[in-house]
């Protein structure tokens, strides 16, 4: 067993001081092993699918993805075609995300940043090591299947509350600062990607990239249902127990209406109103059966919310 040199000891000392100063060690230790396993498996899956999409479909077909991945492709193409040197997509992708990770650490949350860093790192590694394979030279097929694979990866990642970095970080930061939904950032980045795709390879390739972005977004929306809101109306004779379960297990608020009367038998009951996400619906049904099996529940899908509703819990 080799002893550490003085330089290694000094390096470890300064790294530990830096980690303690910014709360990195505290954050890492506060995350359970189960959470690590869940998030890292999701990050691995996303990283592998993003690498397959980039190296099997996007790069061979000169088709560009959305967000930072597409921006990294553009920069890599400009470096190769106009400056004559090879700049790997994986390196550019990682370089763009590093300052955004610093922003996320300061503005969004430490745990969020740790898992986003893991996802970005794994994605970069997979994009670098997965070989580029030309399955077909037809750009429309590359656009459709690349968008499909990327959409599955993004949707699965969002289902497991992981972020791939990039425009997600900027949008979340602005939403926390302003309280508004921010969609213009992704729109601007994707617009730049379309323009450069048209200038570099011809405008038909810009259209193919639009197909990719459309397919990817549709697949992501189909998989990721957390943004879809549902309103549940619960008629129950056990309002205290049901309310406690919703508060503790789902973390949602409840509106209580007392002294409701059924016209069939005149029994006095309470009406509870709560808003949940589509992703929470299965847990909600299970909890309601446990709390009050005789409760009458009606659920309205895709309701519009005006006011405060927290759907990005757990990013801190």
Structural domain boundaries in the chain: 7-223, 229-301
Cβ of 41: how many Cβ atoms within 10 Å? 12
Please check whether residue 190 is in contact with residue 213, taking contact to mean a CB–CB distance below 8 angstroms.
yes
Dist. CA 116–CA 189, nearest whole Å? 20
* CATH number, span 229-301: 3.30.70.120
Query: What's the rounded mean pLDDT across residues 68-72?
Result: 89
For the chain, helix, strand, coil in percent to 5 are 65, 10, 25
Angular region, 65: left φ>0, alpha ψ -120 to 50, beta rest: beta
Band of residue 201 on the pLDDT scale cut at 50, 70, 90: confident
Listed residue (104, 69, 110) closest to 90, CA to CA: 69
Determine what percent of the chain is predicted with pLDDT higher than 70. Answer: 81
pLDDT of residue 268: 85
Write the pLDDT tens digit of every residue in 213-232: 889 888 887 877 666 788 99
pLDDT of residue 18: 47
pLDDT of residue 312: 53
Q: Give the DSSP H or E segment for 102.
A: helix 89-107
* Four-CA torsion 209, 213, 219, 222, nearest 10 degrees: -160
Write the pLDDT tens digit of every residue in 103-126: 888 887 777 788 888 899 999 999
Interstrand relation of 296-301 and 229-236 (parallel, antiparallel or unpaired): antiparallel
| Tokens representing residue 123 in the block | 């994605």
Q: Give the DSSP H or E segment for 273.
A: strand 268-277
Dist. CA 164–CA 119, nearest whole Å? 6
Dist. CA 29–CA 47, nearest whole Å? 24
Q: Mean pLDDT, the chain, as a whole number?
A: 81
pLDDT of residue 96: 92
Q: Which of 6-20, 55-69, 100-114, 134-148 has the lowest mean pLDDT?
A: 6-20
Which segments of 182-280 does DSSP mark as H helices, in order?
Answer: 184-201, 203-223, 239-245
Q: Is the pLDDT of residue 252 over 50?
A: yes
pLDDT of residue 137: 87
């Amino acid at each position: 067993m080799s002893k550490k040199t003085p330089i290694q000891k000094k390096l470890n000392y300064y790294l530990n001081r830096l980690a303690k100063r910014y709360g990195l060690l505290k954050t890492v230790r506060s995350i359970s092993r189960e959470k690590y396993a869940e998030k890292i498996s999701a990050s691995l899956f996303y990283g592998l699918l993003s690498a397959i999409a980039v190296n099997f479909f996007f790069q061979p077909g000169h088709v560009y993805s959305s967000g930072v991945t597409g921006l990294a492709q553009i920069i890599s193409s400009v470096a190769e075609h106009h400056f004559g040197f090879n700049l790997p997509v994986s390196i550019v992708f990682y370089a763009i995300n590093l300052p955004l990770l610093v922003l996320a650490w300061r503005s969004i949350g430490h745990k969020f940043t740790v898992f986003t860093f893991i996802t970005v790192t794994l994605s970069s590694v997979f994009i670098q090591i997965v070989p580029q394979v030309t399955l077909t030279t037809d750009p429309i097929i590359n656009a459709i299947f690349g968008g499909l694979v990327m959409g599955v990866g993004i949707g699965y990642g969002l289902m497991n509350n992981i972020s791939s970095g990039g425009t997600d970080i900027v949008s979340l930061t602005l939403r926390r600062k302003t309280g508004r939904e921010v969609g213009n950032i992704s729109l601007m980045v994707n617009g730049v990607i379309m323009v450069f795709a048209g200038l570099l390879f011809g405008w038909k390739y810009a259209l193919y990239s639009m197909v990719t972005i459309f397919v990817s977004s549709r697949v992501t929306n189909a998989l990721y249902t957390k943004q879809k809101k549902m309103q549940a109306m619960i008629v129950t004779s056990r309002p205290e127990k049901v309310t406690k379960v919703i508060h503790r297990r789902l973390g949602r608020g409840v509106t209580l209406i007392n002294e409701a009367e059924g016209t069939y038998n005149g029994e006095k009951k309470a009406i509870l109103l709560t808003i949940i996400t589509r992703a929470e619906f299965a847990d909600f049904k299970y909890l309601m059966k446990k709390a009050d099996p005789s409760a009458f529940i009606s659920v309205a899908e895709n309701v519009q919310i005006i006011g405060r509703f927290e759907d990005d819990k757990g990013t801190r």
